[in-house]
Homo-oligomer: A and B are copies of this chain.
Amino acid sequence: MTRRHSTQKGMIKDALARLDHPTAAEVYEEIRKIYPQISLGTVYRNLNLMAGDGEILRLPFSGAPDRFDPNVREHFHVMCSRCGRIFDTNHTIPPGLITQIDHAVEACTGVKVESRVMIFKGICAACQPAGQT
């Protein structure tokens, strides 16, 4: 079951870098422009393999397709509930906060936390009603 290289795999990585937190379908459409015979199944299979290997992140959204992120550095995501744009948090989020929450969760449930899905929703600056910060 050793992993092999393929042209398609390279194109998927390139598309991920070019697009902004794309869905599988968006990756597929992007690649189809230059390589029309690529199959959607190939895109899904590779994204799943990469996410399983920890090479990329999978971002689940309620009632919407998963999105993928080649940036595996610890960061979080905010979606604007008005325009749907997705924003990255940067490294200024204190990692200590996450640890504290993990500990609190472990203390009251007895579950050893290994990962967490944290997706925020709100109104982005551009969508904020004019004259408000």
A101 to B81, CA, bound (A): 19
**A125 in the interface, Cβ–Cβ < 8 Å?**
yes
Q: Which residues of B contact A107 (CB under 8 A)?
A: 92
Please tell me if the beta carbons of B97 and A111 are within 8 angstroms of each other in the complex: no
Chain A positions 82 through 119: 1 when the CB is less than 8 Å from some CB of chain B, otherwise 0:
00000111101110011011101111111111111111
* Contact-size category for A: 35 or more
> Which stretch (A9-17, A27-35, A56-64) binds chain B?
A56-64
Please tell me if the beta carbons of B115 and A122 are within 8 angstroms of each other in the complex: yes
**A121 in the interface, Cβ–Cβ < 8 Å?**
yes
The answer to whether A109 and B78 touch (CB under 8 A), given A101-B93, A118-B118, A119-B117, is: yes
Told that A93-B104, A102-B120, A117-B118 touch, could you supply 6 new A-B pairs with CB distance under 8 A?
A60-B60, A60-B63, A87-B109, A111-B123, A111-B124, A114-B122
Please tell me if the beta carbons of B111 and A80 are within 8 angstroms of each other in the complex: yes
